Amino acid sequence: MSNSSKMGRPLIDKEPIKNNLTIRFSDRELREIEELAKKLDMPKTRFIRNLTLSGLEDAKTLDKVGVLKGAQKLIDFKERLLNPEKFQTLQNA
């Protein structure tokens, strides 16, 4: 059995890739993505897909061991520390 869809695209996990998702990036973020994809000689869409699937696997692992919500709370806490102006606190309520 061939490892490609009818449109000639490779299959991931034996499922055809048929869904699109719009993601917004800052100019800096997009520049960084493009630079790294170029270093890997890979289209930026493939690079973003690889990063997303890798992050998905990490999230599934965190969920299996029961710490996914805790990890999100740590990410939220870090965001509050790095960008306090975005969050209302008791001092400026």
Mean pLDDT, rounded, of the chain: 83
Contact in structure between 13 and 6 (CB atoms under 8 Å): no
Mean pLDDT, residues 80-91 taken together: 76
Model confidence at 5: pLDDT above 50: no
Note the pLDDT tens digit of each residue in 47-68.
Answer: 999 999 999 999 899 889 888 8
Query: How far, CA to CA in Å, does 48 sit from each of 52, 64, 74?
Result: 6, 24, 24
pLDDT at 25: 95
Q: Can you give the pTM of this predicted structure?
A: 0.62
Instruction: Encode the chain in three state secondary structure.
Output: CCCECCCCCECECCECCCCCCCCCCCHHHHHHHHHHHHHCCCCHHHHHHHHHHHHHHHHHHHHHCCCHHHHHHHHHHHHHHHCHHHCCCCCCC
pLDDT at 67: 87
